[in-house]
A and B are shown apart, each in its own frame.
Chain A
């Protein structure tokens, strides 16, 4: 291995160590989706197939999702305990963004040293790091793969190896996450940009895009056939309830800290420069993806968190070009003797604006992890409630309950194919917020709910101090209480 390769591996290992250091500080995971992943991995390990017919989610439903990521984890689960698999493998996969980031930055800047530095920065983007170090989500595979695909696309004319890499990447991506369609729209937007700039696309580019469109269409139609028939083109909205969309708003200040001020400014400058002044194909490719993501995020066609992570990675890669241009500018100016000082300033500035927010948001994510009393409550539900009991929780705890308590839930974060989802979410909110006992019992009866789960997390989520009606001991029995958690059994029926 040459020096460059060794350096890259060292960067990879350093960041992996940091990731694992954070990840192993918690026994639980920081989001609900991780528990959905664990259920799928266990199902695959046990039976060879994922839980497409899920009897616990929403009182029983058909799940639609791309299964490949869970199969990868299930493979490791054959010789590793599942919690170790959940902590280790997603972090290794997410960290490979260093390699694909390096390759893509090199395509743009043609500068090895700069590519090595920026590859480390790509891995430390605050929103990317904090949203992936203690989470088991198939998205950790999507981001590095997408960057690798872009790299292969940009070099498609050079060798057959890139065609193979591209084909392999799109194959894996289509079977990993529904957002594979973003890639297709990104490539189509790239073709459009080339047309607008009077640049001719190469034959190979056109052919690989045609292939991608065919392949992604094909796999998505097969996997999400039912949803396509149910929603038509509106499947892109993924049946996300209005209430969830409304909570997705992010302030500009948040975007600055989540993406990092330097990549944001540097990336935006490059977008401006190459949109209006200069023409450079690799930058047009990233620009096309950035435009698609911006449009999709504003129209709610992609969850905001996914769009922001993707955009942040692209901006950081574009930022590399602005660093290159800045260094060239310094070299040509009268301050060329201050080059070293400028680099030091840049590193310090980066440290402050990137590493500090990364550490801050990661600490927040660690605080967000499910607490020991929450896990204890799940053990209670699993051991002391009826097997067919239905538990009321907000959707952010649905998979957590299904995995740990093995009990039926009213809602979780998988919204596809759920009928009247807005009404259901409104009803759940009402069950927590209403002061009227009859209304609450009517809704509890409607969803056949047996137990009401109340915790500080739930109260914060709905902005309430307490659930008022549970004080009526004739209808609600307190069956569990530990720390901030209470579980009530609902025993009344409305005649």
Chain B
């Protein structure tokens, strides 16, 4: 009997597999670093720093709530994705596409790095799902830019294939304009991870084996480029935007997973001349996809901020003054210590490398530095190369006292402490 494995891929199994991936991901993170989301954007939401999400900035969020929100969003994307995509594409292809998406590294990052972008994707899919009820769909559409600026831009872009398919001339994306305009008064900044192939060190993106399937898929669908030009155009625009704002990788990889599914099905359904290697090839492919997933999960399960970082701020949380550290840690300093980071307008770097006590103290008085927070990575090349280099040498002076000495070290600037206790410097 001809085996093609497709009967194993059912709707229920895909949903269960997705749920398992989500649970395992959250559990692994919890066991390693607690319920702390990775990256900086979630902590920007929680400290109400201007982010691309107007709505998340004003909501009272906590790390576990964010993780829960991201997990539910990820699951909803799969369910809604199935409901919406099966209207346009063959069910087997949608199912394979969705499991490829769920097994891709970007899906893991959607769970552990909660952003408005994936919440906006849920809203977009829900709007499409409710489409015949136009007013509800339009309402959801209008909500998207409030959830995420880039989600709003994407909603406008993906409307093109939608309108072409449904032959509708209603310009629904107009409802996005007020939401997008809001960001003129709500300027934002993001620190997205590097987009690319995760096995090659990218912080967010797809796996190498998915890419391989996408290439095979494209080789097959390329002949339809004239008929479905708008899909190719939408994907190209999404790819372009993703390079600027890597959180959009979730939109891109979802689209590419469907193309990858085409590649996967073409391998399965192909009449192989060498039957003996068909099964090994499919096995290798499955292992490769699994390898991408496991390898990424293994990397991000202990990504910063770690439990150790959170714990180190406990002794200084809520005290007066600022914290001097590498700019890289500014967002986490603000969230965990409830203090402002002292990253001194370009002068910071020179302070790290000065061996002059006078100069260092002058900077610290000016910036109201109460503590110096040093992560091991700063000692291993991120800031300093040698153990007594620059400010590290200065810290051994009597003006400083080491108050935290684990892998992370914290020095208290005694002169500031005296001032805050009413004495003069």
Q: How far is the CA of A402 from the CA of B281 in the complex (A)?
A: 41
- Contact partner of B280 (CB less than 8 A), chosen from A211, A229, A419, is A211
Pair A217/B209 contact, Cβ less than 8 Å:
yes
- Contact partner of B212 (CB less than 8 A), chosen from A167, A203, A213, A235, is A213
Any chain B CB within 8 A of the CB of A75?
no
Known contacts A211-B280, A231-B201, A203 near B208 by CB under 8 Å: no
Residues of chain B with a CB closer than 8 A to A213's CB: 212
Shortest distance between the CB of A16 and any CB in chain B (Å): 34
Residue of A167, A211, A233 with highest tally of chain B CB at under 10 A? A211
Q: Give A205-219 as 1s and 0s: 1 = Cβ < 8 Å from B's Cβ atoms.
A: 001101101110110
Pair A218/B277 contact, Cβ less than 8 Å:
no
Q: How far is the CA of A228 from the CA of B202 in the complex (A)?
A: 10
Within 8 A of A (CB), among B174-204: 196-197, 199-202
Q: Give B272-303 as 1s and 0s: 1 = Cβ < 8 Å from A's Cβ atoms.
A: 11101110110011011001000100010000
Pair B201/A163 contact, Cβ less than 8 Å:
no
Known contacts A163-B274, A211-B280, A232 near B201 by CB under 8 Å: yes
Residues of chain A with a CB closer than 8 A to B199's CB: 221, 225, 228-229
Within 8 A of B (CB), among A152-185: 156-157, 160, 163-164, 167
Known contacts A163-B274, A225-B295, A218 near B288 by CB under 8 Å: yes
Pair B200/A214 contact, Cβ less than 8 Å:
no
Residues of chain A with a CB closer than 8 A to B200's CB: 228-229, 232-233, 235
Shortest distance between the CB of B17 and any CB in chain A (Å): 21
Known contacts A217-B208, A419-B381, A229 near B287 by CB under 8 Å: no
Any chain B CB within 8 A of the CB of A202?
yes
Q: How far is the CA of A252 from the CA of B278 in the complex (A)?
A: 46
Q: How far is the CA of A229 from the CA of B200 in the complex (A)?
A: 5
> From A217, which residue of chain B is reached at the shortest CB distance?
B208
Known contacts A207-B272, A229-B299, A217 near B201 by CB under 8 Å: no
> From B280, which residue of chain A is reached at the shortest CB distance?
A211
Q: DSSP majority for the B interface?
A: helix
Q: How far is the CA of A97 from the CA of B295 in the complex (A)?
A: 38
Known contacts A214-B212, A214-B284, A221-B208, A203 near B295 by CB under 8 Å: no
- Contact partner of A214 (CB less than 8 A), chosen from B271, B274, B276, B281, is B281
Any chain B CB within 8 A of the CB of A196?
no
Shortest distance between the CB of A167 and any CB in chain B (Å): 7
In the complex, number of A-B residue pairs with CB atoms less than 8 Å apart: 73
Residues of chain B with a CB closer than 8 A to A164's CB: 276
Pair A215/B381 contact, Cβ less than 8 Å:
no
Residues of chain B with a CB closer than 8 A to A225's CB: 199, 295
Pair B212/A217 contact, Cβ less than 8 Å:
yes
Q: How far is the CA of A239 from the CA of B199 in the complex (A)?
A: 17
Pair A215/B284 contact, Cβ less than 8 Å:
yes
> From B292, which residue of chain A is reached at the shortest CB distance?
A221
Known contacts A228-B200, A232-B196, A160 near B276 by CB under 8 Å: yes
Pair B287/A167 contact, Cβ less than 8 Å:
no
> From B202, which residue of chain A is reached at the shortest CB distance?
A232
Pair A204/B287 contact, Cβ less than 8 Å:
no
Residues of chain B with a CB closer than 8 A to A157's CB: 273
Residues of chain A with a CB closer than 8 A to B216's CB: 210
Residues of chain B with a CB closer than 8 A to A419's CB: 381
Q: How far is the CA of A235 from the CA of B199 in the complex (A)?
A: 11
Shortest distance between the CB of B324 and any CB in chain A (Å): 26
Q: How far is the CA of A229 from the CA of B199 in the complex (A)?
A: 6
Pair A207/B281 contact, Cβ less than 8 Å:
yes
Q: How far is the CA of A208 from the CA of B284 in the complex (A)?
A: 13
- Contact partner of B201 (CB less than 8 A), chosen from A221, A222, A228, is A228
Pair A204/B381 contact, Cβ less than 8 Å:
no
Shortest distance between the CB of A172 and any CB in chain B (Å): 15
Any chain B CB within 8 A of the CB of A230?
yes
> From A221, which residue of chain B is reached at the shortest CB distance?
B199
> From B283, which residue of chain A is reached at the shortest CB distance?
A214
Pair A214/B288 contact, Cβ less than 8 Å:
yes
Residues of chain A with a CB closer than 8 A to B291's CB: 218, 221-222
- Contact partner of B276 (CB less than 8 A), chosen from A163, A221, A230, A231, is A163
Q: How far is the CA of A292 from the CA of B395 in the complex (A)?
A: 55
Residues of chain B with a CB closer than 8 A to A233's CB: 200
Q: How far is the CA of A114 from the CA of B346 in the complex (A)?
A: 73
Residues of chain B with a CB closer than 8 A to A211's CB: 274, 277, 280-281, 284
Q: How far is the CA of A221 from the CA of B216 in the complex (A)?
A: 20
> From B296, which residue of chain A is reached at the shortest CB distance?
A229
Residues of chain B with a CB closer than 8 A to A215's CB: 284
Residue of A210, A211, A214, A225 with highest tally of chain B CB at under 10 A? A214
Residues of chain B with a CB closer than 8 A to A204's CB: 273-274
Shortest distance between the CB of B383 and any CB in chain A (Å): 15
Residues of chain B with a CB closer than 8 A to A156's CB: 274
Residues of chain B with a CB closer than 8 A to A214's CB: 209, 212, 281, 284-285, 288
> From B216, which residue of chain A is reached at the shortest CB distance?
A210
Pair B288/A217 contact, Cβ less than 8 Å:
yes
Shortest distance between the CB of A209 and any CB in chain B (Å): 11
Residues of chain B with a CB closer than 8 A to A235's CB: 200
Q: How far is the CA of A419 from the CA of B200 in the complex (A)?
A: 17
Interface residues of B (CB under 8 A from A): 196-197, 199-202, 208-209, 212, 216, 267, 271-274, 276-278, 280-281, 284-285, 287-288, 291, 295, 299, 381
Kindly list 6 other residue pairs between chains A and B, CB separation below 8 angstroms, not including A231-B201, A419-B381. A157-B273, A163-B274, A211-B274, A215-B284, A221-B291, A232-B197
12 contacts between A and B (CB under 8 A): A167-B280, A207-B277, A207-B278, A211-B281, A214-B288, A218-B287, A221-B199, A221-B208, A222-B291, A225-B199, A228-B199, A232-B200
List 8 tightest A-B contacts by C-beta distance, closest first.
Answer: A203-B273, A232-B200, A204-B273, A214-B284, A232-B201, A229-B201, A211-B277, A211-B281
Interface residues of A (CB under 8 A from B): 156-157, 160, 163-164, 167, 202-204, 207-208, 210-211, 213-215, 217-218, 221-222, 225, 228-233, 235, 419
